[in-house]
C-alpha cells in the first residue's frame, strides 16, 4: 500500500457501525469536508497558543500545515495525526522571553532558538526509539503515568478560558451558550453535522452572540472591520531564531512532555482503530521533532500531535490519513491569507473560550480514557499516588525553581509522575503496575 493510495469506502460503512481506517478514505468531497473540520478542531488552540506567547497566529497556522505534511511523509502516511501549536511551550517561552502578555513578543528570537533545540532533542529520542523500540519509554511511562500527564495537559489549561477569556458576566454566560451548543450538536444530531460538532457549535454560538450584542447591545459587538480591511493574500511576519544557552536549556526539556503526549496519542489511536501503530512510534517522534525545528526556524510555535483532532476521530470513527493531508493543505493556504488571520481575531473571545472549555475538557478525559482502556488498577497504592499527586501538581500549576530555571505545572507534573513511579517501584514486584 503506497502512501497516497487510500482505498475508497462509502459512508454506509459508518452507518453500519464500522470505521474508516488510516489507509482508507471516504469519497474526496466528504474527505475534504472532514479536512475542514480537522482544521477547525486544531484551530482554537493553534491560534490561541501563539497569541498567548506573542507570536504571529498566521505563521503558526501555516507551520501547523507544513508540520503535518512533514509528519505524514516521515510516518509514510500510516499515522493519522494533526500537528498544531503545543501548549507545553507557553509557560517556558513566557519565562525565557519575559513576555509581558500584550502584542508581539520582542524577544521572540530567543524563544525560537529554544523551540529548535527542543525539536533536536525530540528527534534524537525518536531516533533511539526507532533503533531500540519504545520499551524503555514504556518502563518509565506506563499507562498510569501517560494517562495522568495527558489529563494534566487539559486540566492545566482550564484557567485560560475561565480566567482570561470572559471579561464580564455576559461573556461567562456566552461561554455557557457555546459549550451547551457544542454538547447539543454532539448528542442531538446525526451524520455529518454531528461529526462537525465543534464547528457547528461555534457557528451557532457566534450567531447568538451577534444577535445579543450587535442586535440588542448587551456586550462587546462583533467587529468585522478588520476582516474588510485585511488583504486576501500576503506573507505572514516570519521571524528568525537566536540561539541563547539559557533559553535553550529552559525550553529543550519540553521534549519529554511532547514524547509523553505523542506516545499517549498513538496509543489512543491504536486503541480506537484496532491497528497497532507502535512500530511507527519512532518515526512519529522524528516527524514531530523535525516539524518543530522547521516551525521554530520560521517564527512558529513548537508543534505536537493534537488531542483535539484525536477527539474528532473518536467522535467520527474516521481515521483516514487522507483527511489530514487535506487539512494540512488548507492550513498552508490559510497561513498566506491576512484576511483569514483577521477572521480568527473577529471570533468573539467568549465563544473561543466556550470552545476551549470543551476542547481542554476532552483532553483531560482522554487521559482518564488511557487509564480505563489499559485497566489501570487503582487499588495498587503506587498507581493511586502517582495519579493523585500528578493531577494536583499540574492542575494547580505547581512551580519549582532551580536558580534561574523555573519548571511550571505541566513540567513538574510530567517529571513528577515519571520520577515518582520509578521511586515507588523500587521495592516491589512489577505485578499490575505496568502492562
Residue boundaries of the structural domains of the chain = 20-373
pLDDT score of 1 more than 60: no
Question: What is the pLDDT, as a whole number, of residue 100?
Answer: 65
Q: DSSP assignment, residue 378?
A: T
Tell me the mean pLDDT in the region 316-327: 86
Question: What is the pLDDT, as a whole number, of residue 69?
Answer: 95
Q: Are 335 and 63 in contact (CB under 8 A)?
A: yes
Q: Which residue has the higher pLDDT, 389 or 319?
A: 389
Residue partners of 74: CB distance under 8 A and separation at least 6: 283, 284, 286, 287, 290
Question: What is the pLDDT, as a whole number, of residue 405?
Answer: 64
Query: In Å, what is the CA distance from 248 to each residue of 15, 113, 122, 387?
Result: 50, 6, 13, 30
Q: What is the pLDDT of residues 251-298, one digit of tens each?
A: 887 887 788 778 878 877 887 777 888 889 999 999 999 999 999 999
Question: What is the pLDDT, as a whole number, of residue 170?
Answer: 86
Q: Are 9 and 24 in contact (CB under 8 A)?
A: yes
Task: Quote the CA–CA distance of 358 and 168 in Å, as a whole number.
Answer: 20
Q: What angle do CA 317, 323, 328 make, to 5 degrees?
A: 140
Query: In Å, what is the CA distance from 324 to each residue of 37, 182, 211?
Result: 10, 22, 34
Tell me the mean pLDDT in the region 323-350: 85
Question: What is the pLDDT, as a whole number, of residue 311?
Answer: 74
pLDDT score of 16 more than 70: no
Q: What is the pLDDT of residues 349-394, one digit of tens each?
A: 888 788 778 877 877 887 898 899 889 999 999 999 999 999 999 8
User: Comparing C-alpha atoms, which of 395, 399, 394, 388 is closest to residue 410?
Assistant: 394
Q: DSSP assignment, residue 373?
A: H
Question: What is the pLDDT, as a whole number, of residue 157?
Answer: 73
Q: Which residue has the higher pLDDT, 403 or 398?
A: 398
Among all chains, which residue has been given the C-alpha cell 503558526?
Answer: 60
Residue 116, all three cell numbers: 529548535
pLDDT score of 435 more than 70: no
Q: What is the pLDDT of residues 44-63, one digit of tens each?
A: 678 778 877 888 888 999 99
Question: What is the pLDDT, as a whole number, of residue 18?
Answer: 74
Q: Which residue has the higher pLDDT, 396 or 199?
A: 396
Question: What is the pLDDT, as a whole number, of residue 195?
Answer: 63
Question: Please, what's the b/e burial string for 337-355 (b: 16 or more CB within 10 A of its CB; e: otherwise)?
Answer: bbbbbbebeebbbbbbbbb
Q: What is the pLDDT of residues 180-234, one digit of tens each?
A: 988 988 888 876 676 667 778 888 898 998 888 888 878 778 877 877 787 888 8
Strand partners for 20 = 318
Q: Which residue has the higher pLDDT, 166 or 391?
A: 391
User: Comparing C-alpha atoms, which of 44, 28, 10, 50 is closest to residue 325?
Assistant: 28
pLDDT score of 411 more than 80: no
Q: pTM to 2 decimals?
A: 0.74
Task: Quote the CA–CA distance of 40 and 315 in Å, as a whole number.
Answer: 14
Q: What angle do CA 192, 41, 283 make, to 5 degrees?
A: 110
- pLDDT mean across residues, the chain: 83
Q: Which residue has the higher pLDDT, 16 or 49?
A: 49
Amino acid at each position: 500500500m503506497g502512501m497516497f493510495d487510500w482505498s475508497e469506502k462509502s459512508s454506509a460503512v459508518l452507518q453500519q457501525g464500522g470505521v474508516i481506517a488510516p489507509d482508507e478514505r471516504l469519497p474526496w468531497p466528504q474527505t475534504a469536508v472532514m479536512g475542514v473540520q480537522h482544521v477547525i478542531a486544531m484551530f482554537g488552540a493553534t491560534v490561541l497558543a501563539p497569541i498567548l506567547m506573542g507570536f504571529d497566529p498566521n505563521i503558526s497556522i501555516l507551520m501547523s500545515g507544513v508540520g503535518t505534511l512533514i509528519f505524514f511523509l516521515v510516518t509514510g502516511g500510516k499515522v493519522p495525526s494533526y500537528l498544531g501549536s503545543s501548549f507545553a511551550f507557553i509557560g517556558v517561552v513566557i519565562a525565557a522571553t519575559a513576555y509581558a502578555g500584550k502584542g508581539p513578543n520582542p524577544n521572540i528570537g530567543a524563544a525560537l532558538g529554544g523551540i529548535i533545540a527542543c525539536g533536536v532533542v525530540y528527534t534524537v529520542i525518536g531516533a533511539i526509539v526507532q533503533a531500540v523500540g519504545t520499551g524503555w519509554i514504556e518502563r518509565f511511562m506506563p499507562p498510569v503515568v501517560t494517562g495522568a500527564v495527558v489529563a494534566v495537559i487539559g486540566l492545566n489549561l482550564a484557567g485560560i478560558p475561565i480566567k482570561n477569556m470572559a471579561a464580564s458576566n455576559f461573556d461567562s454566560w456566552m461561554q455557557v451558550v457555546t459549550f451547551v451548543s457544542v454538547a447539543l450538536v454532539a448528542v442531538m444530531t446525526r451524520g455529518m453535522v454531528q461529526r462537525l460538532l465543534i464547528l457547528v457549535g461555534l457557528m451557532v454560538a457566534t450567531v447568538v452572540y451577534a444577535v445579543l450584542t450587535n442586535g440588542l447591545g448587551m456586550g462587546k459587538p462583533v467587529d468585522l472591520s478588520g476582516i474588510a480591511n485585511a488583504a486576501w493574500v500576503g506573507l505572514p511576519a516570519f521571524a528568525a531564531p537566536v540561539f541563547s544557552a539559557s533559553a535553550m536549556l529552559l525550553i529543550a526539556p519540553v521534549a519529554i512532555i511532547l514524547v509523553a503526549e505523542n506516545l499517549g496519542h498513538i496509543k489512543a489511536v491504536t486503541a480506537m482503530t484496532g491497528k497497532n501503530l507502535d512500530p511507527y512510534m519512532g518515526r512519529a517522534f522524528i516527524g514531530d521533532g523535525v516539524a518543530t525545528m522547521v516551525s521554530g526556524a520560521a517564527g512558529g510555535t513548537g508543534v505536537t500531535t493534537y488531542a483535539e483532532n484525536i477527539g474528532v476521530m473518536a467522535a467520527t470513527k474516521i481515521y483516514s490519513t487522507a483527511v489530514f493531508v487535506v487539512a494540512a493543505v488548507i492550513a498552508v493556504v490559510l497561513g498566506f491569507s491576512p484576511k483569514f488571520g483577521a477572521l480568527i481575531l473577529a471570533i468573539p473571545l467568549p465563544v473561543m473560550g466556550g470552545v476551549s472549555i470543551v476542547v481542554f475538557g476532552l483532553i483531560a478525559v482522554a487521559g482518564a480514557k488511557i487509564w480505563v482502556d489499559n485497566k489501570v488498577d487503582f487499588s495498587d497504592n503506587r498507581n493511586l499516588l502517582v495519579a493523585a499527586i500528578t493531577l494536583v501538581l499540574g492542575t494547580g500549576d505547581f512551580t519549582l525553581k532551580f536558580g534561574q530555571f523555573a519548571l511550571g505545572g505541566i513540567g513538574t507534573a510530567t517529571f513528577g509522575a515519571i520520577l515518582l513511579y520509578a521511586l515507588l517501584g523500587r521495592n516491589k514486584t512489577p505485578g499490575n503496575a505496568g502492562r
